[in-house]
Structure 1
């Protein structure tokens, strides 16, 4: 009889939680393995690279699940077996904190990011982001790709910026809303949307898009990625993984991927 792998168990549990099914947690032996990390989708390339380096140094490896911060938060609230959570904004981490679902003493801001306007790499469009810039005209009859503006951090930052710049009302009915920022990136990368709003690191990771301009940081809240160990975690490797993320080796990987380094090491 085939024995399910730890990754298969995690996928099954997360899927079951999405439809309200309760499943028993991992066996105790999983505590000796690397931690289960729930991380914002925009961290995928960088965090995967860091995880690879941590495995080389420790022989342990984190099992990382990527999705929108809002989705992951709700899964943790419903009992998903995450040891570590990395959000793309403070709001969703605060949501867990107020419900006592993280260990507050382990929380810190891991990295920062910027917000950019992108187009397919062969696009002839140009744009300078400023108050009242002609975003609606640039779109023509098409749609602007964004992560969900009601709940996903990248979408919330983007909406706030467009409101601050006075152009939201002109485009609000022409938003192609995606489940997370990487899905919004994919719409532009595949040429299904002429413009999109994503993080600078997402644009850097996809050779099929180009950055037209960067949104002024004054138009949205600071883009920070808080991280913490969950209150339910008993994984002995979780603190070690957090400690590794603070090292020069890990921070240099984030920096190479375009993230803003916040920690002194």
Structure 2
């Protein structure tokens, strides 16, 4: 009888364990984030997973591409854009929960050249002749009609009076990281990217920084989608934490909110 009772206890334990909630380590969320965030956000996501046991599946691309994918029903829980326009777009399309939106990070715009280029430091200001500087080479940046870095680049060059002469020399890339790669490989003589991108690519050097007032502020808003899992709110909270702030700043981003503990 004792043995039979033990068997029943064992069966009860097994049945109980099979119906218990899945541990946190089996949970995950999907984050759609601007391509320029990859290195920093990978580290942030690893820290979040270590703390909560929730895995973050990140998909990186141009903000324009991601916003439209979310609009079309892609299974994302969180959207991080490299500009406010595409976040506004996603909110207007009822794809993102406006109440969860936070303007999280800032960045700056820089001019880069291949590491072994003979072009060195230049001063970027009114009358800056980018076309002359590029010579017969190409200038890489994101698509100026859609990709945030390209939009910032065009705005800056128009304000500085350099766009019209340089427009024909531009090689429009699908994302800021694609533009960065073109310059690193020497396939473009110059590139306009974010300071954080130039910082992680050893194949390029920064030869100038665009004045902050030459283009709209570079702001990275973050929000949960309208179909987000409950865990998304925990993730958004972690993005505002002191731990996340330290990681983002290590990669060169500016932190635009007061960090939580």
Q: Sort the TM-score into its range (normalised by shorter chain).
A: 0.7 to 0.9
Quick check: which has more Rg, 1 or 2?
2
Alpha-carbon offset, residue 136 of structure 1: 1.1
Q: Does 1:99 align with 2:93?
A: yes
Alpha-carbon offset, residue 164 of structure 1: 0.4
Query: What does the per-residue CA deviation read over 1:115-165, in whole Å, with 9 as the maximum and x for residues that have no partner?
Result: 000001111213210111121111111110010000000000000000000
Q: Alignment partner for residue 49 of structure 1, among 43, 51, 55?
A: 43
Q: Does 1:122 align with 2:119?
A: no
Alpha-carbon offset, residue 251 of structure 1: 0.7
Q: Does 1:257 align with 2:247?
A: no
Alpha-carbon offset, residue 259 of structure 1: 0.2
Q: Which residue of 1 aligns with 2:134?
A: 139
Determine if contact 1:34/1:238 at 8 Å carries over to the other structure. Answer: no
Matched positions, count: 235
Q: Which residue of 1 aligns with 2:4?
A: none
Alpha-carbon offset, residue 104 of structure 1: 1.2
User: What secondary structure is seen at the aligned counterpart in 1 of 2:55?
Assistant: coil
Alpha-carbon offset, residue 236 of structure 1: 2.2
TM-score normalized by structure 1?
0.86
Query: What does the per-residue CA deviation read over 1:181-206, in whole Å, with 9 as the maximum and x for residues that have no partner?
Result: 00000000111111000000000010
Q: Which residue of 1 aligns with 2:242?
A: 248
Distance 2:45 2:70 in 1: 21
User: What secondary structure is seen at the aligned counterpart in 2 of 1:263?
Assistant: coil
Alpha-carbon offset, residue 179 of structure 1: 0.1
Q: Which residue of 2 aligns with 1:200?
A: 195
Q: Alignment partner for residue 160 of structure 1, among 144, 155, 162?
A: 155
TM-score normalized by structure 2?
0.88
Distance 1:229 1:236 in 2: 10
Alpha-carbon offset, residue 114 of structure 1: 0.2
Q: Which residue of 2 aligns with 1:17?
A: none
Distance 1:179 1:99 in 2: 23
Q: Does 1:64 align with 2:58?
A: yes
Q: Alignment partner for residue 215 of structure 2, among 210, 217, 220?
A: 220
Q: Does 1:82 align with 2:89?
A: no
Q: Alignment partner for residue 173 of structure 1, among 163, 168, 177?
A: 168
The alignment's C-alpha RMSD in Å is 1.2
| Unpaired stretches in structure 1, ≥5 consecutive residues | 1-28
